């Protein structure tokens, strides 16, 4: 409990004790009206002076119809008609509700606060042979930093010396530490749980993973869901409407039907107390905030509550294949040459692919394992989505997909009778014709099948989009029991496929999960884009609506589950609050409900709605 909350609690307890004393005194002693007024005004002012000040201040600024105004009007009116104990009690209970709200918001912020703690305080940079401590913002690209055991890594970089174990729970939600060796990339915000390491920075602090995550979290509350916007608009019109209704309730019956002024004013005051929209205005945004906080603890960073609402209405889940459902760690599994030896085919393919950063290209270079003389290569051109063209030893070499071969008028064939559906094929052709192909295999992630199964269990259609050939795509789709697979797609083709699915889905939403390397256009086009393991990718974080800090596909159904649960709690709070208030408003207008029932309809409902909202912090296990 914060210092401010403790002060509020002390004020509430003091006011409650004084109110109890006044009630006892009133029972055993006959006090004149002015003495009772002063006696009950003391606990009232102790508990509610700040509410009165806020109401006056807001009226001065033209902001009349808020909960402070309603509560001040109702309680001052109660004093005016001689309901002194009720006025003091209403204010005390209102402050109890505000305290509960404050504690609930503080609790829901803890997970966000824990995430904000990933910001490093300093960096130990090695300059001129000396280690000096500076702010992370002062470290330049390419500088060498030293990270001791227990310290947070301040900037993204590559380990130059030393091996360690990294704790990435604050970034990914994954509690199991991972080993890191020289040459491996490390992300800022991770904790060095092992030995001393030296890291060569690959970017400035402003572009680091930790800076991107903090910016993402800070912006997450800016985008409101339709439910939140509805409540904001509802409160804007609801509050002046109930004030007008209360005035009519107080004035019309005495003027037109000869009712007792004190009786109808009392009913109007009860009407005002009940009408405070605290339960709705507080609990709905609080529920979304709790849901996003709970998701962040599991390594799922949601940019706004509007995206939670979209996830909850998912009808079609679309996945990229490579790096999302599969590990993306390609290995050469077969080399089938035509008119040359396997070694010669691998040699020219590796030299051509050495100019590409694509994972398949890197796997071919890795399989070659030998020295690649750059002097042998002339002009090199990367053909987007197709492959690469290079002049090697004076000959033009094309290496890439079957579509690339078709564009050259070459029909791939295999003398060894291989079945190339078990992986991706890199076809190679030269000026002299077809040279053969290299078979690349990519292993499916162990959690992919479970993720697809969970989505299907929710009634969500699953679709896989890939640039791979149909045999490889169909084999993966069959292994994972994916409903539909579309293969041979270039980046533009993936966007077209998602647009077609958007038309098919109707009112249900289409989400897309990709690894963030080249999926930015599709992430942006889907109703909600989920970037997998893309904390280091600028394009992914900008284009995606949800960032899954690690690359585990099972986080996709988990994100949908969390969002569905959050939306259920929001709906429960809306229905419960409106139903109770409508019932008590009618009872109050008919003279059946008293001020104590009105207090429950306002403060009691708000407290119950807040407690229900906190449940959104607890995320399902799967």
Query: pLDDT tens digits for 499-513?
Result: 999 998 888 899 999
The token duo for 565 is 């649960």
Asked if pLDDT for residue 128 goes beyond 70, the answer is yes
Q: Each residue of 323-357: pLDDT tens digit?
A: 788 887 778 878 888 888 999 999 999 998 888 87
- Confirm if 272 and 77 have CB atoms less than 8 A apart: yes
**Sorting pLDDT into bands at 50, 70 and 90, what band is 462?**
very high
Q: Where are the alpha helices (DSSP H) in 258-335?
A: 261-275, 278-297, 305-312
415 and 356 in a single domain? The answer is yes
Nearest to 50 by CA among 99, 114, 116, 3: 99
Per-residue pLDDT of 371-394, as tens digits, reads 888 888 888 888 877 889 999 988
> Is the pLDDT reported for residue 102 higher than 60?
yes
Tally of domains within the chain: 3
> Do 508 and 360 fall within a single domain?
no
How far apart are the two ends of the chain, measured CA to CA in Å? 31
Task: List the one residue out of 115, 505, 36, 490 whose CA is nearest residue 295.
Answer: 115
177 lies in the same domain as 316: no
Please determine, for residue 622, whether its predicted confidence score (pLDDT) is greater than 60. no
| Buried/exposed code over 373-408 (b: 16+ C-beta within 10 A; e: otherwise) | eeeebeebebeebbbbbbbbeeeebbbbbbbbbeeb
Residue 267 has what pLDDT? 83
Q: Among the listed ranges 267-281, 286-300, 503-517, which one has the minimum average pLDDT value?
A: 267-281
For the chain, give the percent of residues with pLDDT over 90. Answer: 19
Q: According to the model, what pLDDT value does residue 241 have? A: 79
pLDDT attached to residue 556: 94
Same domain? For 317 and 192 the reply is no
Query: Is 589 inside a domain boundary?
Result: no
Residue 397: inside a domain: yes
Give the separation between CA 3 and CA 12, rounded to whole angstroms.
14
| Domain endpoint, select from 403, 423, 441 | 441
What's the sign of the alpha-carbon dihedral 169, 174, 178, 182?
A: negative
Q: Is the pTM for the entire model greater than 0.85?
A: no
215 is a domain residue: yes
Structure tokens belonging to residue 560: 């949908």
Would you tell me the crossing angle of helices 226-257 and 305-312 to the nearest 10 degrees?
Answer: 100
> 526 with 318: CB under 8 angstroms?
yes
- List pLDDT tens digits, range 179-189: 888 988 888 87
Q: What is the pLDDT of residues 568-607, one digit of tens each?
A: 998 998 888 888 888 888 887 787 877 778 777 777 787 8
For residues 554 and 452, state if they share a domain. yes
Q: 170 vs 430, which has greater pLDDT?
A: 430
196 and 127 together in one domain: yes
| Phi, psi (degrees; rounded to nearest 5) at 152 | -85, 145
Q: Which two tokens stand for residue 244?
A: 């007008």
- In Å, the largest CA–CA distance within the chain is 115
End-of-domain residue from the set 219, 250, 269: 219
- pLDDT tens-digit profile of 294-320? 888 888 888 878 888 899 999 999 998
What mean pLDDT is predicted for residues 449-454? 94
Which stretch, 72-76, 110-114, 361-365, 489-493, has highest mean pLDDT? 361-365
Residue 353's nearest CA partner among 368, 340, 338 is 368
What φ, ψ does residue 475 adopt, rounded to 5°?
Answer: -65, -45
Sheet with 331-337, edge to edge strand ranges: 331-337, 433-441, 424-430, 395-400, 387-392, 377-383
Domain harbouring 179, CATH code: 2.70.150.10
Answer yes or no: is 394 within a domain.
yes
DSSP-derived pairing of the beta strands 314-320 and 461-465? parallel
Which token pair is 342? Answer: 């396997």
Q: Are residues 348 and 495 in the same domain?
A: no
Q: Note whether 558 and 471 are same-domain residues.
A: yes
Residue 373 lies in a domain: yes
State mean pLDDT over 153-167.
Answer: 88
C-alpha separations of 23 from 28, 86, 346, 593, 597 in Å: 9, 11, 94, 22, 19
Is 603 contained in some domain?
A: no
Q: Give the pLDDT score at 601.
A: 77
Tokens in use for 516?
Answer: 């963030």
Q: Find the CATH number of the domain harbouring 514.
A: 3.40.50.1000
Q: Position of tokens 């229900």? A: 612
Question: Mean per-residue pLDDT for 532-541?
Answer: 63
| Structural domain boundaries enclosing 169 | 123-219
Report the pLDDT value the prediction gives residue 595, as an integer from 0 to 100: 73
Q: Strands 191-192 and 395-400: what pairing?
A: unpaired
pLDDT exceeds cutoff 90 at 460: yes
Is the domain of 530 the same as that of 454? yes
Is residue 172 included in any domain, yes or no?
yes
In this predicted structure, what is the pLDDT of residue 234? Answer: 65
Query: CA Rg, the chain, in Å?
Result: 33
Least confident piece of the model among 222-226, 299-303, 389-393, 556-560: 222-226
* 8-state DSSP, 554: T
Domain match, 342 and 412 both: yes
Q: Are residues 400 and 448 in the same domain?
A: no
525 phi and psi, to 5 degrees? -80, -35
Predicted confidence (pLDDT) at residue 221 exceeds the cutoff of 60: no
Place of tokens 């077609």: 500
Asked which of 219, 237, 253 is the last residue of a domain, the reply is: 219
Q: So what's the pLDDT on residue 421?
A: 46
Mean pLDDT of 196-225: 71
Asked if the structure places residue 508 within a domain, the reply is: yes
Q: Is 66 a catalytic residue?
A: no
- What percent of the chain stands above pLDDT 70? 85
For the chain, give the mean pLDDT: 81
Compute the distance between CA of residue 64 and CA of residue 148 in angstroms, rounded to an integer.
Answer: 56
> Which candidate in 66, 320, 442, 515 is catalytic?
320
In a shared domain, residues 310 and 338: no
Identify the CATH number of the domain in which residue 389 sits: 3.40.1110.10
């Amino acid at each position: 409990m914060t210092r401010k909350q403790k002060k509020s609690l002390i004020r509430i307890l003091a006011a409650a004790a004084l109110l109890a004393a006044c009630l006892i005194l009133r029972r055993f002693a006959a006090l004149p009206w002015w003495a009772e007024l002063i006696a009950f005004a003391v606990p009232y002012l102790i508990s509610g002076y700040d509410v009165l000040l806020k109401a006056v201040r807001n009226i001065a600024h033209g902001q009349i119809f808020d909960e402070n105004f309603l509560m001040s009007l109702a309680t001052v009116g109660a004093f005016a008609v001689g309901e002194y104990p009720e006025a003091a009690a209403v204010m005390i209970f209102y402050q109890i509700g505000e305290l509960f709200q404050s504690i609930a918001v503080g609790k829901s912020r803890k997970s966000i606060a824990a995430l904000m703690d990933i910001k490093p305080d300093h960096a130990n940079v090695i300059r001129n042979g000396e280690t000096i401590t500076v702010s992370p913002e002062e470290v330049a690209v390419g500088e060498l930093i030293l990270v001791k055991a227990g310290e947070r890594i301040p900037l993204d970089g590559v380990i130059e010396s030393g091996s360690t174990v990294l704790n990435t729970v604050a970034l990914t939600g994954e509690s199991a530490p991972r080993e890191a060796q020289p040459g491996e990339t490390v992300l800022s915000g991770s904790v060095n749980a092992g030995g001393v390491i030296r890291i060569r920075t690959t970017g400035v602090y402003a572009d680091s993973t930790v800076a991107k995550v903090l910016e993402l979290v800070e912006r997450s509350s800016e985008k409101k869901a339709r439910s939140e916007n509805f409540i904001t608009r509802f409160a804007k019109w609801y509050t002046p409407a109930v004030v007008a209704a209360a005035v009519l309730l107080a004035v019309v019956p005495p003027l037109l039907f000869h009712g007792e002024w004190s009786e109808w004013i009392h009913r109007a005051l009860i009407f005002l107390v009940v009408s405070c929209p605290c339960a709705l205005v507080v609990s709905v945004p609080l529920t979304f905030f709790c849901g996003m906080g709970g998701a962040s603890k599991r390594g799922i960073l949601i940019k706004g509550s509007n995206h939670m609402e979209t996830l909850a209405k998912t009808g079609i889940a679309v996945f990229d294949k490579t790096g999302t459902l599969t590990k993306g760690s390609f290995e050469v599994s077969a080399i089938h040459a035509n008119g040359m030896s396997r070694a010669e085919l691998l040699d020219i393919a590796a030299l051509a692919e050495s100019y590409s950063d694509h994972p398949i290209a890197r796997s071919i270079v890795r399989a070659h394992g030998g020295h690649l003389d750059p002097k042998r290569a002339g002009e090199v051109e990367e053909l987007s989505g197709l492959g690469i063209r290079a002049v090697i030893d004076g000959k033009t070499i094309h290496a890439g997909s079957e579509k690339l071969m078709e564009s050259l008028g070459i029909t791939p064939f295999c003398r060894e009778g291989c079945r190339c559906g078990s992986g991706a094929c890199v076809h190679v052709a030269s000026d002299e014709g077809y040279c053969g192909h290299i078979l690349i295999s990519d292993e499916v992630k162990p959690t992919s099948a479970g993720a697809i199964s969970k989505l299907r269990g929710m009634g969500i259609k699953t679709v896989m989009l890939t640039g791979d050939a149909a045999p490889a795509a169909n084999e993966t789709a069959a292994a994972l029991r994916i409903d539909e697979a579309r293969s041979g797609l270039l980046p533009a083709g993936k966007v077209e496929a998602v647009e077609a699915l958007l038309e098919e889905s109707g009112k249900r939403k289409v989400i897309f999960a990709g690894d963030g390397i080249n999926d930015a256009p599709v992430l942006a086009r889907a109703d909600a884009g989920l970037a997998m393991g893309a904390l280091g990718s600028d394009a992914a974080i900008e284009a995606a609506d949800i960032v899954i800090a690690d690359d585990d596909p099972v986080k996709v159904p988990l994100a949908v589950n969390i969002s569905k649960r959050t939306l259920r709690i929001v709906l429960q709070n809306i229905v419960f609050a409106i139903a109770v208030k409508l019932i008590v408003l009618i009872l109050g207008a008919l003279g059946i409900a008293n001020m104590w029932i009105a207090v429950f309809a306002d403060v009691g409902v708000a407290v119950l709605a807040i407690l229900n909202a906190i449940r959104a912090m607890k995320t399902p296990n799967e």
